[in-house]
Amino acid sequence: MARAHIELDKQAVIAPVNRRTFGSFVEHLGRCVYDGIYEPGHETANEDGFRLDVVELVKELGSTTIRYPGGNFVSGFRWEDSVGPRDKRPVRRDLAWRSIETNQVGLDEFARWLKLTDSELMLAVNLGTRGILEALDLLEYANHPSGTALSDLRIANGSPEPHNVRMWCLGNEMDGNWQTGFMSADDYGKLAARTAQAMKTAQPDLELVVCGSSGSGMPHFGDWERTVLEHSYEFVDYVSCHAYYQEYNGDLGSFLASSLDMDYFIDTVVATADHVGYKKRSSKKIMLSFDEWNVWYLHKSDEDGDNPDPAAAASAEWRHAPRLLEDVYSVADAVVVGNLLMTLLKHSDRVTSASLAQLVNVIAPIMTEPGGPAWRQTTFYPFSITSRLASGNVLRPVIESPTYDTARHGQASVIDAVATVDDDHAAVFLVNRDLTEPATVTIDVRSLGLARVTEAVTLADADPYAKNTLSEQNRVAPAPNDSAALADGVLTVTLPPVSWTAIALG
């Protein structure tokens, strides 16, 4: 049995827990919206056509900010199509996902859905095929109280109150050649700067996110961020990061250490943003919006390129709400998701917004069947439990753990952990990355001044590839970890192999 020890110091604060770390993402993609959150014929649907069983799961998930409506979708989207009387809305082709978009769900309906789920809207503007004027129009429609053409149109469309959207994405993945209207860093940086300047002239308290590289594997990663920020630094508040992880070629050890790559990614973007800031003699710090992250089985193998096969994609049929990107997640995937969320928390000083991509059916923690049930994927649990338990300040743990070698990420610690502490409670989140051995971890929590373990749960299974499916929706769920015990200021817990654990103290 492996052993590890963790020191927690209440004074070793990284930053406050930012609720926006627990954001998610709803794109008009596959069955995320249609036959996902929206299914008018479903027995739980409300008057807008939204499934209330899905709403309940979204609330339980504890997601906060929700990015909308894309993703790649946004780069061909005309927002005007999706407001006003539903029977007058045009049906369009969505080039990004080769789908038919009926526009039956748009900004006003989605804003109402967000109210049901207690979430904040983070809206993306189309800078792929549109520009400054359309972004300003959408801002006027969404946020201006009344008395102008577009705010009055919103009121006439049944939304008397402005939607008050604070966070806006200036396009999506504008560096990727799969993106409709993709650009060079220079062209995009200039367009983003001019759009941001105009939007902030209209409403100075907006929080604007400029697109970073669409992944750290892009050849221009780093250079793209530098160039884009050189143009836009004064006008924007965040730079975006996107990262998806998967197990390659049966190398579970590397996959379980994916958070090391996220660490490197964040450190690199922070260094690049600060470099531009120093050059500009600016006291302002650009924050990171990690607005797409998850496990996604995008590549069949290590050698795959970044893009879908264009010939195969171009010959596919145009369909409405096709089943796309419906990954079914295992225990190992959930351990990685839990660990990535821990990593985001550890960077709370600079990552102040994040979005799990995505929310329903499309690489999602929640799955649905038309006319049928909605259920939790394995990845639902580490997200919902962390969102519920993490509060107060994030602490920097000192971890003494055995290590192992990985092919993709070098040396990784077997145990990883993060902790948060509030006035009268604390939470510790841990993973055991060992493939076969349990680990006993001792955690010095004396400085927290808390006396009791109030909750201890572990997600694990004898089969790390166990999944929840339509026919077995509750095959995997967290179980109480009865080994967790607190005595003389030392918390001791045993972690099964390939597991994620949360312990709350009070």
Residue 71 is a binding residue for ligand AHR (CB under 6 A)? yes
Which region, judged by CB under 6 A, interacts with ligand AHR, from 54-62, 69-77, 153-161, 470-478?
A: 69-77
Question: For residue 429, what are its two tokens?
Answer: 């989140």
Site string for ligand AHR, 201-240 (x = CB under 6 A): -------------x--------------------------
Residue 455 is a binding residue for ligand AHR (CB under 6 A)? no
Among positions 240-299, residues that touch ligand AHR (CB under 6 A) are 292
Which member of 20, 27, 105, 266 binds ligand AHR (CB under 6 A)?
Answer: 27
Residue 505 and residue 373: Cα distance in Å, rounded? 35
Rounded to a whole number of angstroms, the minimum distance from the CB of residue 92 to ligand AHR is 17
Rounded to a whole number of angstroms, the minimum distance from the CB of residue 357 to ligand AHR is 4
Which of 26, 342 has the CB closer to ligand AHR? 26
- Closest by CA to 328, choosing from 291, 369, 290, is 369
Rounded to a whole number of angstroms, the minimum distance from the CB of residue 80 to ligand AHR is 21
Rounded to a whole number of angstroms, the minimum distance from the CB of residue 68 to ligand AHR is 12
Q: Show Cβ contacts of residue 122 under 8 Å, excluding neighbours closer than 6 positions.
A: 23, 65, 66, 67, 68, 165, 167, 168, 169, 209, 291, 353, 355
Strands 366-368, 374-376: pairing kind: antiparallel
Active-site residue flag, 161? no
DSSP secondary-structure letter at 234? G
CA 142 to chain centre: 23
Residue whose structure tokens are 């904040």: 120
Residue 384 is a binding residue for ligand AHR (CB under 6 A)? no
Which of 172, 259 has the CB closer to ligand AHR? 172
Number of helices (H), then strands (E), belonging to the chain: the values are 11, 26
Residue 3 and residue 24: Cα distance in Å, rounded? 35
Which of 45, 95 has the CB closer to ligand AHR? 95
Rounded to a whole number of angstroms, the minimum distance from the CB of residue 340 to ligand AHR is 15
- Of 39, 101, 140, 292, catalytic: 292
Question: For residue 346, what are its two tokens?
Answer: 């550890």
Residue 301 and residue 307: Cα distance in Å, rounded? 13
Which member of 357, 364, 450, 491 binds ligand AHR (CB under 6 A)?
Answer: 357
Which region, judged by CB under 6 A, interacts with ligand AHR, from 64-72, 309-317, 449-457, 489-497?
A: 64-72
The secondary structure element, H or E, covering residue 251 is none
Residue 343 is a binding residue for ligand AHR (CB under 6 A)? no
Which of 172, 368 has the CB closer to ligand AHR? 172
**Percentages helix, strand, coil for the chain, rounded to the nearest 5?**
30, 25, 45
Residue whose structure tokens are 């379980």: 256
Strands 426-432, 499-505: pairing kind: antiparallel
Chain residue at closest Cβ approach to ligand AHR:
71
Backbone φ and ψ of 381, nearest 5°: -70, -50
Rounded to a whole number of angstroms, the minimum distance from the CB of residue 241 to ligand AHR is 12
* Furthest-apart CA atoms within the chain: distance in Å: 69
Rounded to a whole number of angstroms, the minimum distance from the CB of residue 4 to ligand AHR is 34
Residue 460 and residue 477: Cα distance in Å, rounded? 8
Which of 329, 429 has the CB closer to ligand AHR? 329
Cβ of 132: how many Cβ atoms within 10 Å?
A: 16
Which member of 62, 70, 128, 464 binds ligand AHR (CB under 6 A)?
Answer: 70
Residue 388 and residue 505: Cα distance in Å, rounded? 13
Which of 4, 340 has the CB closer to ligand AHR? 340
Asked if residues 428 and 436 have their Cβ atoms less than 8 Å apart, the reply is no
Which of 140, 292 has the CB closer to ligand AHR? 292
Residue 229 and residue 288: Cα distance in Å, rounded? 12
Backbone φ and ψ of 141, nearest 5°: -60, -45
The secondary structure element, H or E, covering residue 425 is none
- Of 120, 173, 225, 455, catalytic: 173
The secondary structure element, H or E, covering residue 412 is strand 410-413
Site string for ligand AHR, 106-125 (x = CB under 6 A): --------------------
Q: How many CA atoms lie within 13 A of 170 on its CB side?
A: 33
Residue whose structure tokens are 């259920």: 375
Rounded to a whole number of angstroms, the minimum distance from the CB of residue 167 to ligand AHR is 16
Which of 167, 399 has the CB closer to ligand AHR? 167
Residue 358 is a binding residue for ligand AHR (CB under 6 A)? yes
Active-site residue flag, 80? no
Which member of 72, 104, 227, 343 binds ligand AHR (CB under 6 A)?
Answer: 72
Which of 292, 416 has the CB closer to ligand AHR? 292
**CA angle (206, 282, 260) in 5-degree steps:** 80
Among positions 144-203, residues that touch ligand AHR (CB under 6 A) are 172-173
Rounded to a whole number of angstroms, the minimum distance from the CB of residue 202 to ligand AHR is 26
Which amino acids are annotated catalytic?
173, 292
List residues near ligand AHR by CB under 6 A.
27, 29, 70-72, 172-173, 214, 292, 357-358
